Amino acid sequence: MKKIHSRDCGSAVVWTVLTMVILSLLATEVLRTVAGRFQVGVQAGSWQQALTASEAGVDLAVVELRKSLYPAPNHAWEGWTTAPGNGVISHSLTTLPNAGMASTPLTIEVAVDAPANLVNPINPSYQYYRIRTLGSIPLTGPPRIAFNKQDNKLRKLTLRTQRFIDDIFTSETSAPHAARRIEAVVKPLSSFNQAILAVGALDFNNQNIVVDSYDSRDSTKSTNGLYDFTKRQKNGNIATDGTILDAGGAYVYGDVSTNSGTATGVEHVTGEQRTDFYQAPIPIADPSWSSINPSPSTITGTATINASPTQGSASSRYLLNNITLNSGNLTIAGAAGGSTTYIEIHVTGDITVTGNGQITVAPGVKATIYFDGNVNIEGNGIISASNQPGNLLLYGVQPAIEESAPYVKLGGNGAISAAIYAPGHDVTVKGGGSGGEVLGSVVGKTVTMNGVTKLHYDEALGLAGPVNNYEIASWFEDTR
């Protein structure tokens, strides 16, 4: 029997212990490395999710702004502190449970205000809004710097001390969390940002139709503020929210857009042809006026109504049942020297101009006509002395029953200079005068152009008419 010496046993124990120590050190190092990298992953993922929450806050604010454009009750800003105005902040704190990593909740805070200096200088009613958002998410695990210190410096994570303290947002604490802040400015978009917009079908019936643009504000793009063929611009864009657009071989100096549809007859289109268009027109509600200018309820012959130097005053507002002119002239009179005056007319019934009938808008008058019923302009038509489409805005009130759409038919012996916004009406444009000229913009439920018609879109209308939407004008992430 072989005898085992105690010295050999001692060596085995030493080697065993040494091996276990080495393996333990290796395991510890592996665990440290993996844990550190895991922490990097968690912090990076949380940091990115905080940005997603902050971006979602901008979306929430834009949704409320868009809702506010609809006729009341539109339920805009419900659950917020208050609607945004000059110097007034709307504030929303929203927690999304189980939305982040490891089922941690995301927090979104949004503040919206309308600084007095953020208005369009040309049209002060076009208010820009500032949206500030905070997206935050708790960081799971111990409050320690991850494996890569540069990652922590880049992301500016809060691990033990609250990094950013202000008087707008309240959800940040000193507990470990990732936070992202965004400031965006959104600008209003006019309902007249297209030459022609149809909610449904858009149909041109022949190749003699021309759609182009000019800019009455720019002497290089117009002459004395009027359309000049030699200064033609190529922003006469036409679009539909539907899928049916037949350009009929017309000469379109601009883009043609559909909503996942196919445009036909586009051989003479100079611009892009797109299928990703959608711009839902905001419906027009009946005007709600507390007082109006006393006037006849019906105009059937020669008559004069006066514009007022004070915009929005009772003296500038008229309520009529209908206008029917087979002969005679309805004159919308302004100031003797042609200085700027204002008038708003609400016609609850139909507007019909035929035969020798005519509506004349005097120089300097800015007229807005709301109509509930049908509009049929023939005869001597509507004459706007200024020939500026922005001075004659025709608004179709949204019908109560969408299936029974009223109509608008524009024609007559003279050129028509007006902007028509009637997203609940079927609009037919036949032009005016021997050349069939229309200066302005057209929005309708459906739009049809007949005969020899030339529509010249005034790009100045991009800052006229009702606001239809908002888009991001600037975007900034605060990384302090």
pLDDT for the residue 379: 77
What is the DSSP-derived secondary structure letter of residue 380? T
Q: Which of 477, 449, 443, 448 is nearest to 461 (CA)?
A: 443
Q: In Å, what is the CA distance from 86 to each residue of 76, 82, 149, 169?
A: 17, 12, 43, 19
The per-residue pLDDT for 273 is 93
Give me the pLDDT at residue 397, please: 94
E strands along 354-436, which residues?
358-361, 365-371, 375-377, 382-384, 392-396, 407-410, 416-429
pLDDT at 122: 85
34: Cβ–Cβ under 8 A, 6 or more apart, which residues? none
Cβ(377)–Cβ(411) under 8 Å?
yes
pLDDT on residue 403: 66
Please name the helix (run of DSSP H) or strand (run of DSSP E) that holds residue 65, with its range, or none. Answer: helix 6-67
pLDDT at position 38: 62
What is the structure's pLDDT at 450? 84
CA-closest candidate to residue 57, choices 186, 163, 162, 187: 186
As a whole number of angstroms, the distance between CA 49 and CA 46 comes to 5
What pLDDT is attached to residue 447?
94
Distance CA 325, CA 428 (A): 20
| Strand 437-449, strand 416-429: pairing | parallel
Flag residues of the chain having pLDDT under 50: none
Token couple for 403: 């299936």
Helix (H, G, I), strand (E, B) or coil at 379: coil
Cα–Cα distance between 372 and 284 in angstroms, integer? 10
